[in-house]
Amino acid sequence: MSTKRVLFFLTSHDDLGGIRKTGFYVHEAARPWKILTEAGYTVDLASVQGGVPPQDGRDPDDPGQEEFFADPRIAAQLADTKTPADYDPADYEAVVYVGGHGTMFDFPGNAALAEFSAKVYENGGVVAAVCHGPAGLLDIKLSEGDYLVSGKKLTSFTNEEEAAVGLTDVVPLLLETALTERGAIHQPAANFTDNVVVDGRLVTGQNPASANSFGEAIVKALANR
């Protein structure tokens, strides 16, 4: 598997409990994209439903984000994203679950995402997720029937962080709790601080502050396989 390709998974869900619009969190896509691209990887995008994925957290004053949107390959893909069914897991060395509150609604229970990721992982690839992106890890089962996260060290947006942003009763599940119930060894850091946990070929980041370190950890995990 020498394809040097990484597939980013984006949410298609744009409604945060009727409070406001949501989507994929731009910073958590733009930073890892930049780091992976500079390391020689080609990044492709897939969303749950295809088409134009909803965005959250776009900052026009952030040069890194604007570089992401200005990239011709990224712009073309964002204009009409494919779904996981349009890609072959054998073509990818890693999958990255980009965060954003939308993921909490359409990543869990999504068989297409889970099966794609299981195939990449069992083919020796890396599975990575940041912030709320680990919602996509909940249903990944490996061939022997175990959940991928069972017994693995990882992190995600924490219950304390969810409470701090006032959304505990809005999200359909508490991610830290759900991952722990799947057998994960959840390793949180202080609220909104940079925290990345690597367990072999599973790479996770806690929140937007972790996006840079998260991207760097993916490159390192790919190199260390």
Catalytic annotation on 131? Answer: yes
Q: What is the DSSP letter of 213?
A: H
3-class secondary structure, 26: helix
8 A C-beta contact, residue 218 and residue 126: yes
Beta partners for 131? none
Give the count of alpha carbons within 13 A of 179, CB side only: 30
The 3-state secondary structure of 124-151 reads: CCEEEEECCHHHHHCCCECCCCCECCCC
Catalytic annotation on 13? Answer: no
Catalytic annotation on 132? Answer: yes
Select which of 28, 93, 161, 162 is catalytic: 162
Select which of 13, 27, 101, 132 is catalytic: 132
Select which of 27, 131, 176, 186 is catalytic: 131
3-class secondary structure, 97: strand
8 A C-beta contact, residue 195 and residue 155: yes
Distance linking the first and last C-alpha atoms of the chain: 11
Q: So which residues are the catalytic ones?
A: 131-132, 162
